[in-house]
């Protein structure tokens, strides 16, 4: 990793260039704030309540992988409660107008 301003080699963990003080590009990018309003359960492409599809779409995960992981976690018991909590907390997507 190198400083974008002066080209000085940087430690991978450093947040600022020790030579010129420029913020390191990776950590200079604004942290994505947690935006629960964007997390919505889609009305289509859902298996049970759309919780898996909501997380998969929000974070760009593979929905099949999310469902497999969710199924495994739900078998432990606590996961099922977490799923129901997510079901309640995550709002449902508003009805989309037909595009045809
Ligand atoms: Zn620098």
Q: In the 3-class helix/strand/coil scheme, how is 51-66 assigned residue by residue?
A: HHHHHHHHHCCCHHHH
Compute the distance from residue 82 Cα to the ligand 1 centre, in Å. Answer: 45
B/e letters for 2-19, b = 16+ CB within 10 Å, e = fewer, are ebeeeeeebeeeeeebee
Residue 12 Cα, ligand 1 centroid: separation in angstroms?
Answer: 14
Find out whether 39 and 88 touch, Cβ atoms under 8 Å.
no
Phi, psi of 7 (to 5 degrees): 80, 5
- Predicted confidence at residue 33, as pLDDT, reads 53
Q: What is the per-residue pLDDT across 41-80, written as a single tens digit (0 to 9) for each?
A: 777 777 777 777 777 777 888 888 888 888 888 887 777 7
Structural domain boundaries in the chain: 1-31, 36-89
- How many angstroms separate the alpha carbon of residue 11 from the centre of ligand 1? 12
């Amino acid at each position: 990793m190198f400083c974008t301003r002066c080209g000085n080699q940087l430690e991978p963990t450093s947040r600022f260039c020790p030579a010129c003080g420029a913020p390191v590009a990776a950590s200079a990018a604004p942290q994505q704030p947690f935006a629960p309003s964007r997390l919505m359960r889609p009305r289509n492409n859902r298996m049970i309540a759309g919780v898996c599809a909501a997380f998969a779409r929000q974070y760009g995960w593979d929905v099949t992988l999310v469902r497999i992981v969710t199924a495994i976690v739900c078998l432990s018991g606590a996961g099922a409660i977490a799923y129901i909590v997510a079901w309640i907390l995550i709002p449902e997507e508003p009805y989309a107008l037909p595009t045809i």
